[in-house]
Amino acid sequence: MITVPAVIIALTFHEYAHARIAYHYGDPTAKNAGRLTLNPLKHLDIMGTILLIIAHFGWAKPVPVNPNYFDGDRRSKMVLVSMAGPVANLLLAFIVTLILMVLVKMNIYINPYVAQFVLILLQINIILAVFNLIPIPPLDGSKILAGFLPESAENLMYNLERYGFLILMVLIFTGVFSKIINPFVSGLYHICLSIAGII
């Protein structure tokens, strides 16, 4: 159960970052929906939370974004909004790494349960960042990729969203997703532990 609060923290920061950047570029949609907050209750999806507790796999409610509010190059700003979530998770992982580094260098005793939680928080943020960068709708990676594609291909990417959830479920439960993201997750996790001085 120690995994659950770590996942909730990671998901909350992820969704808040999307809302914050969208609002920065002039889109009040997320703010008006009460999503411009670090209150996890505003971001958690009921079914996603239940699955999170039961199966250790879940999701948060997607932040509503309306690029029609953006001035200038809407496509590039949509890319930045989409990148905000994974970047927030990587930033949080970096902050956790720095905290661990300070604790190790100062030889400060850490309660085993606290240490386990911190390491899980580090790993979950890395997993969430890497997972969401996969270019399959409705993951952030698909919206990032769409911003660099010709408009015809961009529309095709968005049209695939209706099948995206099904595709994700198949890839996850067949183990294909694990084989794709595990090398990246393991590599980043190893780097963070090395920086922290743990390995």
Nearest alpha carbon to residue 185 among 98, 117, 116, 123: 123
Nearest alpha carbon to residue 18 among 32, 37, 4: 37
Contact call for residues 10 and 26 (beta carbons, < 8 A)? no
Contact call for residues 139 and 168 (beta carbons, < 8 A)? yes
- Of 15, 151, 154, 161, the catalytic one is 15
Q: Is 15 a catalytic residue?
A: yes
What string of DSSP letters covers 20-66?
HHHHHTT--HHHHTT-SS--GGGTB-HHHHHHHHHHS---BPPPP--
Catalogue the active-site residues: 15
